[in-house]
Amino acid sequence: MAAKIPRNFRLLEELEKGEKGLGAEACSYGLADGEDMMMSNWNGTILGPPHSVHENRIYSVQIHCGPDYPDNPPTIQFISRVNIPCVDQKTGKVDPAKLPCLAQWKREYTMETILLEIRRRVFRLLFTSKSLALYRALLRQCGRLPSAVPELQASKSLIQQKFHKYKNLQSPSQTANALKAGYEALDLLHSASQGNEHDRHRIATLILESQSIKKQTAEFQKALASTAQPKPLSKRELKKEESRRFQEMTARRHPDATPILSRPRPVVNGRRRIPVLVSARGIPFLRIKKPQPKNLSGVIRTKLDKRWRRVERREMLGVDILFANDEDDWDRLTLGRPETETWAGEIKKALAEVSTQLKESDLKNKELAEAMWQVVLAERKLAAEEETQSSTQR
């Protein structure tokens, strides 16, 4: 386990990083008072995101690192007025529950982590609201296009596809360029809906070009996929695929399969396989070879589940009988005489029944194991005889 860096050493590292400008350029931080020996109060600045109304603006914050920092997060308060959901508009304090890095604080987080997270939230809030407003405006303009031109009706689906494609953009410059293109498309759609034939023809041309490019790309990908050589499977993948096919083949019992206790077979082709007697939590079975058939696994699992349900019922009845005895004692005290039919009587019957079922199933498993062991011994005997016979023939 790595040793924890003491609080003052950690703050000295952050102070050096902040003063030398080794961190991100989008934020800065330093001590509010150079004589503060505890290094508790800090000042920070956040640059507004580019391509937004916050561009070139500087927001000042106060940071207070408590005595338990960095085990617990610091408190952040904005001096500059800013409209962010995680900031209280009256006090300027940042709500830790609404800022992910504070709500899920880790010891390796720093003040720089917090300032950058706040800056990203400003960016996301700004561009998310703009993107949604632009998306709705574009769809409204698509509904106002004339229905007589079939090419124009495909504009709505094309806009939906583009927004779905670029919804996860993180780069500010890429997002700004996408918004710029969206506003140009909005002006074009508005002009076309007002009857501008030139813009209608331009929209139809753009849609046809987009559909043609999409079709050519699909054909190219299809041709590329047909010419590409299939990747050979690794040994692990081949083994996994073989196991999957075997499980599918053995999901049901083969109609020509013989009962296991009918062994040993008098004559076999090749070398005789001696089965192995195995116990799965008290359920005996003979393993002929690996992998194990799926139907055998299902039978074993069903038997184990059935036995476990009976064990749970027995334990539950053992607890219930204690409460039933208390009920019988209460009835005897209130009535002044014992009743002919008691609460504990029925539970004792059920308990005896489930105990008998468990004993009978265990006895059957024991008898089955003994019969299977005789099969193993007989197979061993025949295998030894066949080996002796083959050695004499050589």
Buried b (16+ CB within 10 A) or exposed e, 15-46: beebeeeebeebbbbebeeeeeeebbebbbbb
d(C-alpha 174, C-alpha 170), whole Å: 8
d(C-alpha 283, C-alpha 305), whole Å: 11
d(C-alpha 145, C-alpha 194), whole Å: 8
Q: Is the pLDDT of residue 71 over 70?
A: yes
Mean pLDDT of 304-319: 93
Q: What totals of helices (H) and strands (E) does the chain contain, helices first?
A: 9, 6
Window from 16-30, 83-97, 188-202 with minimum mean pLDDT:
16-30
Task: Report CA 145 to chain centroid distance, whole Å.
Answer: 43
Q: Is the pLDDT of residue 380 over 50?
A: yes
Q: Is the pLDDT of residue 1 over 50?
A: no
Pick the closest to residue 23 from 102, 122, 107, 119 (CA basis). Answer: 119
d(C-alpha 290, C-alpha 219), whole Å: 46
Tell me the CATH number for domain 7-124: 3.10.110.10
How many C-beta atoms surround the C-beta of residue 275 within 10 A?
A: 18
pLDDT at site 303: 94
281 bridge partner residues: none
Per residue in 74-107, pLDDT (tens digit) is 988 888 777 677 788 788 888 888 888 888 888 8
Q: Is the pLDDT of residue 124 over 60?
A: no
HSE of 340, CA atoms in CB hemisphere, 13 A: 0
Residue 134, amino acid? L
HSE of 80, CA atoms in CB hemisphere, 13 A: 15
Pick the closest to residue 280 from 353, 212, 369 (CA basis). Answer: 369
Residues 6+ apart with CB under 8 A from 122: 46, 48, 49, 52, 54, 82, 84
Q: Is the pLDDT of residue 209 over 80?
A: yes
Per residue in 4-14, pLDDT (tens digit) is 778 888 888 88
HSE of 290, CA atoms in CB hemisphere, 13 A: 3
pLDDT at site 270: 78
In this structure, the strands spanning 58-64 and 27-31 are: unpaired
Give the chain's mean pLDDT: 82
- Global pTM reads 0.42
Residue with tokens 């055998």: 296
Q: Which 3 state secondary structure label does DSSP give 314?
A: helix
Residues 6+ apart with CB under 8 A from 23: 17, 112
Domain boundaries, the chain: 7-124, 147-218, 266-393
CA angle, 152 as apex, 151 and 154 as ends, to 5°?
75
